Amino acid sequence: MAAAGRLRRRVLLLAVPWRWRCSPRRGAAGCPPAGQVRAAFLRFFEERHGHRRLPSAPVRPRGDPRLLFVNAGMNQFKPIFLGTAHPRSELAQHRRVVNSQKCVRAGGKHNDLEDVGRDTYHHTFFEMLGNWSFGDYFKEEACSMAWELLTEVYEIPKDRLYVTYFAGDSSLGLSADEECRDVWLCLGVPASHVLPFPLKDNFWEMGDTGPCGPCTEIHYDHVGGGRNAAALVNQGSPDVVEIWNLVFMQYSREVEGNLLPLPQHHVDTGMGLERLVTVLQNKHSNYDTDLFTPILDAIHKGCGGPRYQGLVGDADVGHVNMAYRVVADHVRALCVCITDGIYPGFSGAELVLRRILRRAVRFCSEVLHAPPGLLASLVPTVVEVLGDAYPELTKNADQIMDVINENEAAFQSSLERGRRIIERTVQQMEPSTYFPAEVAWSLYGNLGFPLDLIDLILEEKGISLDSAAFNELALEDAKQKAGGPPAGQLEDTNTCLDVHSLAQLRSSNVPATDDSPKYAYTLGQHGRYEFSPCQATVLILYRDQSLQKEVGAGQRCGVILDRTNFYAEQGGQASDQGYMIHLGQQAQRLACMANHTATHLLNFALRHVLGDNTEQRGSHVTAEWLRFDFNTTGPVTVEQLQQVEQVVQDVIKRNEVVHTAEVPLMLARRVQGLRAVDEGYPDPVRIVSLGVPVESVLTCNSEAAMQTSVELCCGTHLLQTGAMEDLAIISERQLVKGISRVIAVTGSQAKQAREAGQCLAMEVDSVSLRMKERSASIPEMQNLSKEVGQLTKMVASTPVPQWQRKELQTILKVLQRTANTAIKKLEMQQAEEKAQSMLAKHCNQPVIIDTVPADSLSILMKVVNQLCDKSPGTSVLLLSPQASGEVLCACQVSKNCLPVFSAADWAVAVCTQMEGKAGGSPVVAKGSGNAKGMQRALTTALEFAQSKLLK
């Protein structure tokens, strides 16, 4: 009763009049527009309850390779839940947070893609309104705030709200969450509206392991009218829907499956903006709210068909309303993803986005019968709806439209190719057989041809796909992509501290390991780097997810030291390797330092050459090479690659000093032109500046940072740029539209790349000179053509400067065309001579059957073609014995003899006599066989022709 009394007093204190001043702009009269609904949520927690408002994270996940997209508001806060946030980072300082997070659920565990459009509430992209407590308030305050917002600010009738709580689970030893139930009852929610549900409904887990806990959900009854809708909660009824989920993280799921209490309790809540707006605008469908109606209106205007009516299922004749919903939803997802750096591509999130775009294009063209370009024309409307909340959409509108248009054109081309492949495959199939699963999988995986469209085309032809074989291919592909450690190799659990051990270390006042000695190196005599040894004390050991004072001989364990000079992988730089006691691998560290400094220089050079809009999209540094991803409007030209390398080499030659300093994060953010300031950094943060002292770039209104490379970075770097020696970009390619990746090497590897490039250039020059001599011999030209092909492969695979690779590939393409043209011309000359000789021998004959010397099947076919061109009514079959014992066969039938006389059947009959094979069309065919049966084949050729011509 005392706890209940405290809660009632707190509720009275919170019940201060606070209104959101609804002034409808886009919504119906008396209904708040979506923008005000979002703003009211954020202001309520920020102004009324002291939460810090944070911007939405991009939908491309950072530091979580298991996620395709950010699919929940809590994704960016995982390090807090797991206890791995850097203690000096801004993230670690959060206690109360509120935001509206952009989310995408398509692909992976949360995959709503195929459901979108079939009903009125599934989406690929949605906004998650959320408030969080990290070790601050818990169940009582979280429920109170939620109830206050819904019933007093949004003024939702209390009798339409139902709340659920965790009913407990005996198998896990968990009792019912009566604490949560009592909070709701004390808030005045009737007992008939407070409902218990089991683990699957009211227990939330981050994954197979990690933080988890009971949750309480708030459901809304769209019908109301005084009825009791408790029986419809969690039953899939469209009339009673969940609008808010409050998760109480108080356990951690261990590898063994058991639950342990978390050292610190957290609150993670999520409320879908689309569903909330549906409630507040008194609609039954998310698509009837002002988040979607402007887009639906734009679709109608663009396609000119019937208006959207909100029909579903059988009532939606022709799936027109489903198409409206698909297109409206998908264009929102496309806008947000492309803005956040995810482009339609061929793997991971990019592949999922490609499927979203292609699904939308199909509904546009096949159902709505809209002209090409409708999808991109909707972008300005999406920006109008969402641009105020997410200004980055406004900034990138033109780029979004370009990407959509280019991918739509590519898809239309793929559809045409796919249809031709299906037609050709069906023609070659035996009657009453399944369509080959291999062909269907190739269409689906390589061309992105929709599987349901394959089924539809085959259905129209009365053919079925071999679904069992197709599913086997899909399963095999999924297994390959899943990857994971090799069989028998278990993940090392001794290298990553779990949340409980981290909490134990903190409660025991064990200090964080001092890793500042990793920066303790100097330039000694003769320019050699000298790394200072680091003496450290072992504080404790870590094995099998527990802290231990000792382990047995031969057992693997983690070692926690008071200080270390080892660099742990972060900031894109690979970790050090070495030994305690011994000195470690200094060569690897030095190579990493050179490549990391080179990465900063490359970033600066790319911006200098390609423009200030060039932004880093990712990087990785190892001792062998460096990788750098950046946004671009198109492939980097040969001249631009040379200019980038020259900018880097100029800085190397000047042997600029690499300046570093730790400064307050707020001060660092003011540096003009500073790159990569949107990531999570510790405070104070380390600045790395090439050639300009950090004090200079921090000076108010200083433009010094605009003239050199200045970045926030925790990595290890050279002290002077000269030790880099050289940099060569050995690869540049577009990962997806708008994102390029370069790979570069430094030092001796760069020198080797340049030497290899010079050797290949000399070989290309040699072939080019010999090609200009224009030999009259077909074998010589064929050898040159083969040499060009081999050089082309070598140029493509050998590490050489990319600008030189592109130059050589251009030259080799011209040489290959020149060789092919010369060979074709020589073959035509030879074929004409042989044809003239054959015509003189077989003057005015309706059928010519003979043997003729020919170096290749190509020449033999040309002889046949010329004979038929010069004697139009003649059918010709020629055999050409080769030195190898093989006999080549080519034939052509006069069109006057069709369809009785078929060249394909003629060639098969002849080559069968020589134990060979043949194929072709009714007009022309070719094949080969064994010389032992040649005379028998000539007889068969004549008999076959006579049997057809005498009919």
Q: What tens digit of pLDDT does each residue of 664-686 get?
A: 988 888 888 776 555 677 888 88
- Residue that is written with structure tokens 């004409």 in the block: 832
Average pLDDT for 368-383: 96
Residue 878 has pLDDT above 60, yes or no: yes
- Can you give the pLDDT at residue 425? 86
What local confidence, expressed as pLDDT, does residue 574 receive? 64
Type of residue found at 256: E
Quick one: pLDDT band at residue 846, thresholds 50, 70, 90?
very high
Percent of the chain scoring above 70 in pLDDT = 91
Under 8 Å between Cβ of 831 and 866: yes
pLDDT, tens digit, 9 for 90 and up, residues 591-643 = 999 999 999 999 999 999 998 888 888 889 998 999 999 988 778 899 999 99
Residue 567 has pLDDT above 70, yes or no: no
- Give Cα 316 distance to the centre of its chain: 34
CA–CA dist 332, 316 (Å, integer) = 23
pLDDT of residue 775: 67
Q: Which of 440, 538, 546, 535 is nearest to 499 (CA)?
A: 546
The values of phi and psi at residue 550, to 5°, are -155, 155
Closest alpha carbon to 744 in 726, 730, 723 = 730
**Model confidence, pTM:** 0.73
pLDDT for 384 beyond 80: yes
If pLDDT is split at 50, 70 and 90, which confidence band does 41 have?
A: very high
- Give the C-alpha separation, 259 to 267, whole Å: 18
Q: Could you tell me which of 35, 544, 123, 57 has the C-alpha nearest to residue 327?
A: 123
Confidence check: pLDDT of 135 > 60: yes
Quick one: tokens of 214?
């009971």
Which of these ranges, 552-556, 776-780, 821-825, has the smallest mean pLDDT? 552-556
Strand, coil or helix: what is 110? coil
Looking at per-residue pLDDT, the higher value among 13 and 862 belongs to 862
| Residue 6 confidence (pLDDT) above 60 | no
Kindly state the tokens that stand for 18.
């606070």
Query: Which residues have CB under 8 Å from 109's CB, separation 6+?
Result: none
CA 503, 509, 515, 516 torsion: positive or negative?
Answer: positive
pLDDT digits (tens, 9 = 90+) for 271-324: 999 999 999 999 999 999 999 999 999 999 999 889 999 999 999 999 999 999
Task: State the Rg of the chain over Cα.
Answer: 36
pLDDT at position 585, please?
A: 63
Give whole-number Cα distances, 225 to 159, 182, 194, 275, in Å: 9, 26, 19, 20
Q: How far is it, in rounded angstroms, from Cα 198 to Cα 202? A: 6
The whole-number average pLDDT for the span 355-368 is 92
Instruction: Check residue 203 and give its pLDDT.
Output: 95
Q: Which residues contact 248 (CB under 8 A, 6 or more apart)?
A: 138, 139, 142, 177, 180, 213, 214, 215, 216, 265, 266, 267
Res 660 pLDDT > 50: yes
Lowest pLDDT segment from 24-28, 103-107, 421-425, 895-899 = 24-28
> Which residues 6+ apart lie within 8 Å of 751 measured at CB?
725, 726
In this prediction, residues 874-901 reach a mean pLDDT of: 94
Q: Is the pLDDT of residue 28 over 50?
A: no
For residue 74, pLDDT beyond 70: yes
Kindly report, residue by residue over 320-344, the tens digit of the pLDDT. Answer: 999 999 999 999 999 999 999 898 9
pLDDT at 14 over 60: no
pLDDT band at 582 (very low <50, low <70, confident <90, very high): very low
pLDDT score for 19: 46
Give residue 8's pLDDT: 39
The residue length of the chain stands at: 951
Contact assessment for residue 53 and residue 98, using Cβ atoms and an 8 Å cutoff: yes
Please tell me the distance from the alpha carbon of residue 552 to that of residue 570, in angstroms, as a whole number: 31
Across 608-619, b (16+ Cβ under 10 Å) vs e yields: bbbeeebbbbeb
- Give the span between the Cα atoms of 665 and 712, in whole angstroms: 9
Q: How confident is the model at residue 64 (pLDDT cuts 50, 70, 90)?
A: confident
Q: How many CB atoms lie within 10 A of CB 865?
A: 17
> Which is more confident, 509 or 596?
596
| pLDDT at residue 759 tops 90 | yes
Which has more confidence, 644 or 778? 644
Tell which wins on pLDDT, 420 or 484: 420
CA neighbor of 104 nearest in space, from 58, 62, 70: 70
Query: Mind listing the pLDDT tens digit for each residue in 532-560?
Result: 777 777 888 888 778 888 877 777 888 88
Whether residue 30 is predicted with pLDDT greater than 60 in this model: the reply is: yes
Exposed / middle / buried, residue 65 (Cβ in 10 Å: 0-12, 13-18, 19+): exposed
Q: Which is more confidently placed, 134 or 508?
A: 134
Average pLDDT over residues 390-419: 91
Per-residue confidence at 570, pLDDT binned at 50, 70, 90?
low
- Three-class HEC string of 872-930: CCCEEEEEEECCCCEEEEEEECCHHHCCCCCHHHHHHHHHHHCCCEEEECCCEEEEEEE
pLDDT band at 17 (very low <50, low <70, confident <90, very high): very low
696: nearest Cα among 723, 657, 722: 657
Mean residue pLDDT of the chain comes to 87
Q: Would you place residue 583 in the very low, low, confident or very high pLDDT band (cuts 50, 70, 90)?
A: very low
210 sits in the region (left: phi over 0; alpha: psi -120 to 50; else beta) called left
Q: In sequence order, what are the beta bridge partners of 236?
A: none
Q: How far apart are the C-alpha atoms of 622 and 620, rounded to whole Å?
A: 7
* Contact status, residue 349 vs residue 107, Cβ threshold 8 Å: yes
Asked whether residue 373 carries a pLDDT value surpassing 90, the answer given is yes
